[in-house]
Structure 1
């Protein structure tokens, strides 16, 4: 509103009440008029009302000492007249008056006087504009969603809107014109006077139940501080909603865990009804909710990782299950792999740094498989972390607290390794609060039927094959075999038989010959010269690779999957044996 006043045209506020005399009339007439009327000027025109000059009260005082009152106005009037047209803006009129030190400007249209604009006209109109602008701004300020406070250069409150009243419980009539420090001695606004720097989005709680975000800036014009303005956004409702959302999410997580636990027992994936395996499952369920360290022992292929996973998911911890093969990590990479590293920690490090295994398993489970293969220096570092329950990244300075459950596994006798000084005794007791020793498959042969049925259905589903049955003789052979490779070996044999057979029933001929060989002749027929171990192994590998490639139509990825070896290993053996 105030700014609009400067662009208002003269014709909207000029005075049309003007007194005009012709230039041939006497000066005495002009003096009489000015003395007996409130007008401050006389416009002098010719007979056609074209302006010729102007006489004001100031001019009259100069004429009083001169004996020229009987003379015509032509001799006394001021002829250097500055005038404006009706479309001229108030801003330009004001500038003309200041520049030429005059108090009025005639308004001319087509050469004739139609009105006059005086300095009081401009002043009154501007004052009116200021008042209207102040009312408009006050309305705007009170409808801003944030609390607004403006201080003058001395720290006194000059603007305090309705939302500021609501936030602080202080009325505008009480605080306006007062020093802010009298009400809020620790206000951020006061700090701006010293720092002369803006602050943005600073959290503040003015009173219990209220949460606000403050932004404040100094008002600086031509390097001079005129005051401070601050806005405060009420986020109490947002905070309350976030708290409610957090509570709802926590309740939802609890319900989800309860539903998962009731709807699907993670130990269902462990196949077996034998007394030995059911005892191990019962112990695992009992200790799963605790945070104690567990050592799972047993021969290769007995399902140690499956047990570790089941314990993790049964415990309902929110974090991830992170498996680590200890034998596959070079000693020089132990710290960076387990603890992670900061950006630029060493040459070749990732630009963004790296999160280690312990951080990946935050609030979850770290599964250390084949821990018996861990070199002694690495054992010492692992022990320190398990004792202190904190890590420090490579290249980092601060320690990161840990909330990680550790489950270890090994197929070796750690007590014997301790006697041979190949395993630290302190680490053994740290990881072995509870030991779960898994039985080999030969000690739970009653589970072979269940496992075979499970693996048959699984491999058939993965390869979209009809589910065959096992001939009675085949089952007898599987039950009599020792299974030194345990469940893993059984799975590989079942996979082989299902892929090799296209019949409704899998018969003895599809069993790998080494399983049921009763004499050297059978084995030699399959492997080669029995007395030459290297040759026998080579021929066995060649036969199996060729069969896998035949089944997979030369697809190396599928063949490596059938053989249960990495593709890189398959490529190496293809080159070794010259197989195309």
Structure 2
């Protein structure tokens, strides 16, 4: 009952019991021989046993209609001489095809030119019929036990095979599916696409019959003798494999970020933030105090002051389990903000990766997202960011699964965010959500005592990178550095040191090694600082200068200017009136 189809040779099936006659025999004797042998066809051979022709009852019937004395005719006059025959050794299938192509019902089988047997239509039919049921049972069990789906449709789209795997997967019984058009049960299948195109296809296929069900599907057209007869489709469940692939992609994305971040680990602690000035130490103290809370932190500082270094230090000190993911909001095109922040599913939009992508918030699920240049975030994304911060959940672009997240948000900018809120360029509700704790990083000009520390640290690092002996530095150069404004702050200082080291040919950095514009600025600054010996007048000049500077920095905002000067607002109003300072031009 359970077997494989055999390839039979013709000699195993042919009839070896056959009757031969001579070509000189009379027809009346032929009829008697047919009756005696109970056969309708006789083989005509010569005295050597070689096949000369075939005579059948049909041939005799034609002769009977044409001639009255038909029974006196000889065999050689009416026998079929153009004989189609085959030789031993051919398969039964090959002989069957010969009989079908030549439209004959009997095929003599020769062996060395002599007749060895006769193959008739009934031989083939009986053999195939006897084995058909056994083959059917074998095929049914094999297809049923295969751990992948098999579906076959004919050239009209009618389902002719639907195995148990497909029954369980789609919850459609084979008896309901077979004999019906596939589109009655499933829409937009790969089988139908191949039915129309007659070109094989392979793809990851998603079905909504069950949640998150994915399969790798191969569909191929079937041709028999150049005639298209249908489509066979195989389907392998890859749901678990896809989940593992997504986890692997997420791990690879995380690994990529980690590799990029390893280089910066040494910069990630507060001890590596160089400087001992009061203002810097105050900022570090606030940062340490809030690092282990879950509150959002807003870092304000001029360009080059080290906002990301502070953010990394806060993340490291917080001991959060997740990663530190820095994002430059000004570097992401507005049309890509959503896919970058929230990720996307496979095929979510044109050009999207087939594997989908993990977004920034998902990647930093329990870690820290550092949103640098937050002031450049488009208003449309500000609303979505606010919702994420409130709901602590995201949904990928093109997806419908809710993903819970819990990242710490640290944002930073060198712009006046409060002023942008007034100008309605930044959402007020998002501003207050981000600015729970504000940390101000002082510019380099306000922490001149730290310049010496930074200069020596940068000299050591840069000389080592360029395979040079660590250079010493003249005191006059230090004085110039301390009196320079440093609009680019620490970044500008480091670049200046690197330029000097690369171009220097001496062991000591002297005045002629530094850019001339720095010396000019320092000289002008010294002249401005040449206060009179009269302490009252010197104090008045210093107060006027600092009040004017604070008003310029605050763009005329007296409350903010008072905060910069660290004096009460009433005192500032008094001083402005006392010195008749014009605030209208600030």
The alignment status of 1:270 with 2:273, answered yes or no, reads yes
Indicate whether 1:118 and 2:120 are aligned.
yes
Out of 133, 146, 149, the residue aligned to residue 148 of structure 2 is 146
Partner of 2:532: none
Q: 1:296 aligns with which of 289, 294, 300?
A: 300
Seen in structure 2, the aligned counterparts of structure 1 residues 367 and 476 have a Cα distance that, compared at 3 Å, is: closer
- In the alignment, the residues of structure 1 paired with residue 455 and residue 205 of structure 2 have an alpha-carbon distance, to the nearest angstrom, of 65
Tell me if 1:203 matches 2:206: yes
TM-score of the superposition, structure 1-length normalised? 0.55
2:442 maps to 1:439: yes
Pairwise CA distance, 1:277: 0.8
How many corresponding residue pairs? 462
Q: Are 2:220 and 2:232, in contact at CA under 8 Å, matched by a contact in 1?
A: yes
Q: Distance in 2 between matches of 1:23 and 1:422?
A: 114
Residues of 2 paired with 1:495 and 1:127: CA distance?
92
Residues 85-164 of structure 1: pairs in structure 2 closer than 5 A: 85-87=85-87, 90-91=95-96, 93-95=98-100, 98=103, 103-106=105-108, 115-125=117-127, 127=129, 141=143, 146-150=148-152, 159-161=161-163, 163-164=165-166
CA distance in 2 between partners of 1:81 and 1:271 (Å): 111
Instruction: State the 1:493 CA deviation.
Output: 6.9
Shift in Å, 1:253: 9.9
Contact 2:41 2:54 in 1 (8 A): yes
Alignment partner for residue 467 of structure 2, among 451, 464, 467?
464
From 236, 239, 248, the equivalent of 1:233 is 236
Q: CA deviation at 1:214?
A: 5.5
Please give the residue correspondences for 1:511-530 in structure 2 after superposition, counting only pairs within 5 Å: 515=522
Corresponding position: 1:180 with 2:173: no
Gaps of 5+ in 2: 195-202, 339-349, 352-356, 362-368, 388-396, 400-406, 528-586
Secondary structure in structure 2 of the residue aligned to 1:284: helix
Say whether the 8 Å CA contact 2:204–2:216 is kept in structure 1. yes
| Deviation (angstroms), 1:252 | 7.9
Deviation per CA, 1:506-539, whole angstroms, max 9, x where unpaired?
567867755579998xxxxxxxxxxxxxxxxxxx
Q: Distance in 2 between matches of 1:384 and 1:105?
A: 83
By how many angstroms is 1:21 displaced? Answer: 3.5
**Counterparts of 1:208 and 1:337, CA distance in 2:** 34
Q: Following the alignment from structure 1 to structure 2, what is the Cα–Cα distance between the partners of residues 215 and 149?
A: 10
Moved more, 39-48 or 422-431: 422-431
CA distance in 1, matches of 2:380, 2:171: 56
Residue number in structure 2 paired with 1:41: 41
* Contact map agreement 2:23 2:76 (CA 8 A) in 1: no
- Encode CA deviations 1:395-432: one digit per residue, 9 max, x unaligned: xxx999xx98642214x8977x999x899996996686
Q: Residue 84 of structure 1: SS of its match in structure 2? A: coil
1:190–1:227 Cα change, 3 Å: farther
Of the candidates 383, 386, 391, which is equivalent to residue 382 of structure 2? 386
Q: Tell whether 2:323 aligns with 1:320.
A: no
- What's the secondary structure of 2:442's corresponding residue? coil
The change in CA–CA distance for 1:291 and 1:256 in structure 2 (over 3 A counts) is: farther
Contact 2:157–2:192, Cα closer than 8 Å, also in 1: no
SS at match of 2:185: helix
Cα separation, partners in 2 of 1:127 and 1:201, compared to 1, 3 Å: farther
The separation in 2 between residues aligned to 1:137 and 1:382, in whole angstroms, is: 63
Structure 1 CA distance for aligned equivalents of residues 503 and 191 of structure 2: 82
Offset at residue 238 of structure 1 (A): 1.3
RMSD of equivalent CA atoms: 6.5
Q: CA deviation at 1:74?
A: 1.3
By how many angstroms is 1:459 displaced? 3.3
Which of 185, 192, 195 does residue 190 from structure 1 map onto?
A: 185
Shift of 1:454: 1.0
Which of 354, 366, 373 lines up with 1:368 in the alignment? 373
> C-alpha displacement at 1:190, in angstroms?
3.0
CA distance in 1, matches of 2:181, 2:112: 66
Measured after TM superposition, the shift of residue 15 of structure 1 is: 3.5
TM-score normalised over the length of structure 2: 0.54
Q: CA deviation at 1:436?
A: 3.1
**Does 489-498 or 281-290 show the bigger shift?**
489-498
Residue number in structure 2 paired with 1:566: none
1:280 is displaced (CA, Å) by 0.6
Note the C-alpha offset of 1:67. 9.0
